[in-house]
Amino acid sequence: MQTLDVDDWPSFEKKLQELQRAEVSAGSTAEFLFRGVTDSTFPLATTLERRAHEGIQICDYFKLILELKPQIESFTGASWETPKYRDVEKSLQDYNTFMFDQVPDPPTYSYMLYLRHHGFPSPLLDWTRSPYIAAFFAFRSATKPANCKVSIYVLLPNRLYRHTKSNGKPWIRRIGPYVTTHRRHFLQQGDYTMCAVFNIGEQPRFSKHEDVVFCGDTHPEIIWKLNIPWAERLKVLKTLDSYNLNEFSLFESVEALMETLAVREIEFGAKRQW
């Protein structure tokens, strides 16, 4: 991973254009994914990792969420036609038939995204196809980070290295945007990755994305981390808001409306006469 410090928002946009042009010149489609982080010291971590359960067996996690499904369906009125757990367990435990690029199946993926968008710990790391949505998530917090910088990660998903089953190294898989799920997924132009490690005689386990990002044999140009001064926050948020990119447009809740109004009227209008 390359970490780059830029001086301001225009410098970030310029650097991003340079990366895109370089990929086009190399014959790539330059399809990037982006992730905004409110503090440049924060790692690439899923919500499951933040609960200190990054090493949980994939089978155990699926068992957990399938056991919870009747409660969630009863309360929400939603339903997901996911496979029976015994079938999931069989496919995950048989090394010869296990294929990480087929996990999760589409109905389970839809269900997992619903859980993820409603706060249940998830092995899915969320990205967006828009650098501006990523910028909003990087700058949304009014709390100044200790080092006064936010970060936007830039990922080239078509360069994710596919390890073989038997090498015991973690593998990041892009799952993609095409799924029926929570409307926030579409508002935020969502995309997702999942990281796992597996080997002969072992149960597949979720792993840390950073175990791949920082391993020595990872392609050096798979991901960039661009650090931007937090002092650019209001300028960036004002620019994004002028295009109707804000908390309310990305979340569409009453709480999001209140936050958007607070930013506009209190932070953007800091010079108003009270």
Residue 35: per-residue pLDDT: 97
Compute the average pLDDT of residues 194-206.
Answer: 82
163: pLDDT confidence band, cut at 50, 70 and 90?
A: low
Q: Are 136 and 253 in contact (CB under 8 A)?
A: no
Residue 162 has pLDDT above 60, yes or no: no
Mean pLDDT, to the nearest integer, of 73-99? 80
Q: Is the pLDDT of residue 20 over 70?
A: yes
Backbone φ, ψ for residue 209 (5° rounding): -60, -35
Query: Residue range 228-248: average pLDDT?
Result: 97
Is residue 217 over pLDDT 60?
Answer: no
Mean pLDDT of 130-138: 98
As a dihedral over the C-alpha atoms of residue 162, residue 2, residue 122, residue 178, rounded to 10 degrees, the angle is -60
Range in 48-52, 54-58, 215-219 with the lowest mean pLDDT: 215-219
**pLDDT class of 33 with cuts at 50, 70, 90:** very high
Q: Show the CA angle centred on residue 254, arms to residues 249 and 257, nearest 5°.
A: 45
Structure tokens at 7: 């001086």
Asked if residue 191 has pLDDT above 50, the reply is yes
Q: Residue 164 pLDDT more than 80?
A: no
DSSP code of 82?
P
Mean pLDDT lowest among 9-13, 62-66, 185-189, 270-274: 270-274
Q: What is the pLDDT of residue 135?
A: 98
pLDDT on residue 98: 64
Closest by CA to 161, choosing from 202, 97, 100, 227, is 100
Question: Is the pLDDT confidence value at 254 over 80?
Answer: yes
Mean pLDDT, to the nearest integer, of 224-239?
96
Task: Give the whole-number percent of the chain exceeding pLDDT 90.
Answer: 57
